[in-house]
Structures are given as C-alpha cells and as structure tokens.
C-alpha cells in the first residue's frame, strides 16, 4: 500500500515538476506492447503532452493490431512502438514516415546511435535494447559444484546433473510455446550455429542443412530437460515456473528480469536468482541469441500536426536522463545518461560477445511463422530433423510465393 502511495505521489509530483514541451495542438495516440519499461516510457512522454490529446493502447496483441490500424487513412494510431521484427511489416506496406526533419527540429537530446536508418532515412528512434539470456540459481549450482554454464552443451550437462541429484525434475526452462516463441528459440540457436536463413541475396530458404539439424537436436535435448508441457509455455509461464522454484537454469528475455527480481514471491529464490550472458552453442563464438531494439515509429497516414506533436512527446522520453536513472532496473536503455545496473548484465554481455541483431528482412516473418508450426512434430518425436526442416522450407516457399517474394 505504501509503495502504491509513494508511486502515486511521485507521479503527481513528477507531472508538476516537469515543464511540458509546450505542444499546442495535434493529437497523440500510441500503440505499444505491454511490459513495465514501455509503460514507463509512455508515461514519461505523457508529461510533455501540453494541450495535445493523449491516448495510449498497451497490448501484448500489438502485432495483430498494428498493420490494419495503420493502414486505415487516417490511421488509428499516430505512433507505434516497434522492434526489429515488427517494423518490417510496417516498412513492407509503406505505413511509417521518415523522421529526418523532425529529428533535426526537435530531436536535440537523441543520440545518433539511437536512430534506425534505412536507405539513409531515419525510420525509427530506438530507446531500449533486449535479448534472451541465461538466468541461473546460484544456490543450486553451488550445492552441486556446477560452474556457471557458458555454452548450451554445458547447460545440458548441468541440467542432467541437477536432475540426477534429485533436486529438480525439470531443471531447464525456455519459452517453447508452439508458434512465435518456439520459432524464436530456433532463430537464436540457428544463429548461434552460424546459420544464415536465406541464400545470399535471395529469398530462397537455407535451413535444411547440417546447421539446421544441429539446431533442432540441441532444442530437443533442452526440451527433454524441461517441464513436459513445454510446448504450451510462453515467457510468462516459465517465469511462474522459476518463481515456484521448479527451475534452476532458464533462457528468458532481459526485459522480464525486472518482474522476476521484484519483491513478490519467495525471497530466497529471488536472492539466489542470478543473470549471466547468453550461451554459445556448437563451439561457435557468437552467442545463440538475437539482439533486439525497441523504438518508436510514426504513422504515415496521419496529419503532419499529429506527427509533430507525437514526435515531440516521444522524443522527450527518448532523451530523458531522469527516466533512465529512475527506471534503470526496468530495461537496458539506449538513452544518454543510462548507467547499467545488475539487471542489464545479459544484454551487455550479449553485445560484448558480438551477438547478431534479429534479421530485419522483408520475408523473415514468413520464415518465423513456418518454423513455429513445422518443427513441433520433431520435438514430439514424430518425425526426423531432416523431414521437419524440409517441411519448414516447403511451408515457407508456398507462403513466400503467395506474397510475391519468390
């Protein structure tokens, strides 16, 4: 209760303390995913709204809404908080506007490194970075004398040891829910093996090879060490598993560390929860993980006045030193003045180790979709790795042909 009160007071105080940005007209309507860092970001931009109309929709279903809502003219939203993958459909359909003029006019505090430029034009302004990395239970590993795993081979060995000790039945967890999540794990592991999803310079798939098979075999080994319901577990579900003390090693998003390490739940587990960089796999030297940025884009089908008002409000947050200092725990901010805390280890390690960003290619969404449904039967032991990869490629090719990529 006291915490809520303090937060409320802070919010009240905060709003009055910040001078607004003197926005006189226009209306602002933002579509964003729903996690704490994004809420903080949008709240910060709201302080600057002036007399402009301000609306926001936080939804974990944001991907499903974005393209239809921005296709309408005028578009429902004036801004969309996007990431590497979700900016692609917006680019494909030509739904977002270049921001160069606005950056020049109002983007004083924004660092150059925050600008996402495509063909020389600024299409988005990033404000936070994300990746999936390892979490471990210090107490469990110490008890059994296991070193902190650096590769997925070590993760497998450690998990087997924990299982053999009888401490935990399913010591490993990752978001393997059939669909987007499972496909994302494949993408990470495949990149860790040094794979390229497409033959260079074309949209022809390139996953049915030794690297693809090795990727699937590793996913299978890990799935056997996970709760048998793994095909239904998303990030939220494995977070719950972790907080119930059923898991000792986990691959999870960096942006979830905030809620994982908050005051709720068993304090002993929270205390023993430690973060480390993402693991490598198959003797590779880059991590089996992808780097993500979250940034804002502005809708094309919206009057210039709205775009200007929206940009000014969001730029206020994207260059806000106070926000990144106050919410240093919530994310790895790309904003100037951010001092990385203990919860940022995962992302910082990933960058140091040379992790690759998620491929920002127009046809990648189709590949991701095909992976999410076609590799399930392999994990269930119903078909061979080669057959599963052949199915993925065939499913992808049909979709890519329909979309005109092949």
The correct pick among 47, 56, 368, 378 for binding another protein (CB under 8 A) is: 368
- Contact characters 212-231, another protein, x per CB under 8 A: ---------------xxxxx
272 scored as a contact of another protein (CB under 8 A): no
DSSP characters over 266-279: -HHHHHHEEE-PPP
Tell me the window of 38-46, 73-81, 267-275, 351-359 that interacts with another protein (CB under 8 A): 351-359
How far apart are alpha carbons 193 and 75 in whole angstroms? Answer: 41
Are 265 and 252 within 8 A, CB to CB? Answer: no
Q: What is the phi-psi region of residue 354: left when phi exceeds 0, alpha when psi lies from -120 to 50, beta otherwise?
A: left
Q: Which is nearer to another protein, 89 or 258 (CB)?
A: 89
The correct pick among 158, 291, 309, 315 for binding another protein (CB under 8 A) is: 291
Rounded to a whole number of angstroms, the minimum distance from the CB of residue 104 to another protein is 17
What does residue 169 show for φ and ψ, rounded to 5 degrees? -85, -40
3-state secondary structure of 183: helix
How far apart are alpha carbons 324 and 338 in whole angstroms? Answer: 6
Q: List helix spans (H) across 93-234.
A: 100-106, 138-143, 152-165, 180-192, 210-224
293 scored as a contact of another protein (CB under 8 A): yes
Are 312 and 103 within 8 A, CB to CB? Answer: no
Q: Which of 277, 229, 276, 267 is nearest to 245 (CA)?
A: 267
- Contact characters 371-400, another protein, x per CB under 8 A: -xx--xx--x-xx---x---x--xx-xxx-
Residues in 14-73 at the binding interface with another protein, rule: CB under 8 A? 63-64, 67
Tell me the window of 44-52, 207-215, 266-274, 361-369 that interacts with another protein (CB under 8 A): 361-369
Rounded to a whole number of angstroms, the minimum distance from the CB of residue 102 to another protein is 18
Rounded to a whole number of angstroms, the minimum distance from the CB of residue 66 to another protein is 9
Where does residue 361 rank: exposed (0-12), middle (13-18), buried (19+ CB within 10 A)? middle
Contact residues: another protein, CB under 8 A? 63-64, 67, 84-86, 88-89, 91-92, 94, 113-120, 126, 129, 169, 177-180, 182, 227-232, 291, 293, 334, 351, 356-357, 359-363, 365-366, 368-369, 372-373, 376-377, 380, 382-383, 387, 391, 394-395, 397-399, 401-405
């Amino acid at each position: 209760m006291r915490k809520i009160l303090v937060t409320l007071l802070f919010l009240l105080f905060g709003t009055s303390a910040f001078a607004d940005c003197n926005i006189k007209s226009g209306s602002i309507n933002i579509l964003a995913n729903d996690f704490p860092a994004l809420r903080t970001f949008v709240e910060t931009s709201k302080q600057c709204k002036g007399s402009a109309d301000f609306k926001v929709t936080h939804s974990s279903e944001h991907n499903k809404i974005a393209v239809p809502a921005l296709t309408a003219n005028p578009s429902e939203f004036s801004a969309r908080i996007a990431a590497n993958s979700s900016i692609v459909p917006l680019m494909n359909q030509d739904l977002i506007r270049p921001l160069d003029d606005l950056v020049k006019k109002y983007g004083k505090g924004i660092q150059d490194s925050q600008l996402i430029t495509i063909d020389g034009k600024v299409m988005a302004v990033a404000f936070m970075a994300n990746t999936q990395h390892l979490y471990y239970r210090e107490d469990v590993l110490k008890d059994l004398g296991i070193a902190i795993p650096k590769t997925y081979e070590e993760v497998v060995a450690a998990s087997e040891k924990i299982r053999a000790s009888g401490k935990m039945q399913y010591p490993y967890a990752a978001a393997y829910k059939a669909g987007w999540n499972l496909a994302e794990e494949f993408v990470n592991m495949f990149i860790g093996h040094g794979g390229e999803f497409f033959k260079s310079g074309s949209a022809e798939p390139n996953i049915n090879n030794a690297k693809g098979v090795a990727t699937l075999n590793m996913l299978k080994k890990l799935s056997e060490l996970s709760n048998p319901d793994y095909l239904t577990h998303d990030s939220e579900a494995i977070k719950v598993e972790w907080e119930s003390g059923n898991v000792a090693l986990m691959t999870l998003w960096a942006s979830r560390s905030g809620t994982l390490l908050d005051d709720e739940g068993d304090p002993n587990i929270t205390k023993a929860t430690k973060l480390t960089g993402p693991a490598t796999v198959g003797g590779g030297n880059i991590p089996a993980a992808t780097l993500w940025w979250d940034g804002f884009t502005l809708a094309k089908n919206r009057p210039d006045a709205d775009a200007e008002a929206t940009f000014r409000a969001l730029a206020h947050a994207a260059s806000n030193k106070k926000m990144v200092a106050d919410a240093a725990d919530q994310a790895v901010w790309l904003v100037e003045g951010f001092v990385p805390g203990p919860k940022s280890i995962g992302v910082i390690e990933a960058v140091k180790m040379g992790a690759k960003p998620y491929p920002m290619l127009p046809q990648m969404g189709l590949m991701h979709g095909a992976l999410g449904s076609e590799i399930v039967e392999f994990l269930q032991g119903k078909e061979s790795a080669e057959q599963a990869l052949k199915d993925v490629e065939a499913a992808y090719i049909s979709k890519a042909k329909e979309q005109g990529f092949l």
